[in-house]
Amino acid sequence: MNTSDLTVGVVGATGYAGGELCRLLLNHPRVQRIVPTARGDENFEHVHPNLLGSGLAFSTLEALKDQAADVDVVFFCTPSGTAMQHAGWFLDQDCRVIDVSADFRFPDPDTYRRVYGGEHTAPGLLGEAVYGVTELHRDRIAGSRLVANPGCYVITAILALTPILRSGWADLGQSVHITAVNGTTGAGNKPVRALMHAEALNSMLPYSLDGHRHAPELETHLTPEAGRPVSIDLSTAHGNFARGIYLQSSLQVHPEHRDRMSRDRIIGLLTRFYQGGPQGAPEPFVRIIAAPRSGGLNVKDYGLYPQLTAVTGSNFCHIGADWDGRRGIIKLVSTTDNLVKGAAGSAIQNMNVMLGLDETYALTAYGL
């Protein structure tokens, strides 16, 4: 593979994540050609007017397959059930595959069936798929053929929770409580009245409170980090903004660690974990809010925690923390852009690692 002259396919490029992949890939110094696909006869610049003048035009999946000998990487930004039908074919043509959908996020077909309610049609590929939290699985992603990109809520939670779970501080006899708000782009681009501007403005749209499908994904991939089963209580809503994830996690601290706990200790752990990095270098896309507390008791010190607008349009995850000593609870706040770090950006980050490229290619822009 000549990594200075890449051809990349984006299957399902009519959606928000697919459009974001195209936007970011247009600035990738090693990507020469992008082939976005659509099922209909849509005009690319009508669907993605922000990319007017890009020269991109929709192709079909069949046409992409006809060009497979010249395609290096294929991204699937498709509904669940599509990538599993076609990923094996592209792998057989020596294309690398990055699935932005949920088809390869679970290591076994039984879990997939339980969460998504359907049979997995490519169970033989599940053992090969590498779960694509780059910061945690970089070594396995390098040189892999198939990467399963995490869900947007999931990557935002995993990056905040993993250092705490690895430390052994949490009392995992109790559930980890997570409350998260996603932008309306997280609901996709199919017309739904509740998501119309007139309906969503000045409102909140809770959903899936009976058991969000990302909770089992979190439990599956956080359990190895904790060294024991983790129970996740996940509550979600769409906010009245287009893009971004604001996520709060609460963990009860084990009694043996409670007396020594403090916000400074938590921030110190997070900083060492991400600014030292597993390879001795800072993680390029994780930032810890380490500002000292400036006020006294009950002062609303907003600078202690991440701001959603600070990550919009970027591949960064910002993490903040605090300590409720009276109740013995660690509280974490993490923010990402659901379309970038939560989807297209982390997928490109994984592609860069898979191909041995600079991990930050096409992803260095700061928040808007």
Q: What are the chain's domains?
A: 6-128 (3.40.50.720), 153-338 (3.30.360.10)
Q: Given this model, what pLDDT does residue 280 score?
A: 64
| Residues 6+ away with beta carbon under 8 Å from 46 | none
Ramachandran angles phi, psi of 266, nearest 5°: -65, -45
d(C-alpha 68, C-alpha 65), whole Å: 5
Q: Given this model, what pLDDT does residue 287 score?
A: 96
Ramachandran angles phi, psi of 302, nearest 5°: -65, -25
d(C-alpha 194, C-alpha 190), whole Å: 11
Q: Given this model, what pLDDT does residue 277 score?
A: 53
- Residue found under tokens 């980050």: 349
Give 97-108 pLDDT, tens digit per residue: 999 999 999 999
Residue pair 261/170 in contact (Cβ under 8 Å)? The answer is no
Residues in the chain predicted with pLDDT less than 50, given as ranges, are: none
- Residue found under tokens 């770090």: 341
Helices H / strands E in the chain, number of each: 12, 13
On the CB side of 162, CA atoms within 13 Å amount to 22
Strand order in the sheet with 31-36: 31-36, 6-11, 73-76, 96-99, 146-148, 130-131
Q: Given this model, what pLDDT does residue 195 score?
A: 85
d(C-alpha 158, C-alpha 266), whole Å: 16
User: Across-strand partners of 47?
Assistant: none
Selected catalytic residue, list 22, 77, 152, 317: 152
Length of the chain: 368
Mean pLDDT score of the chain, rounded to an integer? 94
d(C-alpha 81, C-alpha 307), whole Å: 35
**pTM, whole model, 2 decimals?**
0.95
- The verdict on whether 152 is a catalytic residue reads yes
Give 140-198 pLDDT, tens digit per residue: 999 899 999 999 999 999 999 999 999 999 999 999 999 999 999 888 888 888 888 88
Q: Given this model, what pLDDT does residue 4 score?
A: 75
Closest CA relative to residue 340, chosen from 103, 19, 3, 9? 19
- Residue found under tokens 């998501």: 195
Give 131-150 pLDDT, tens digit per residue: 999 999 999 999 899 999 99
d(C-alpha 37, C-alpha 65), whole Å: 11
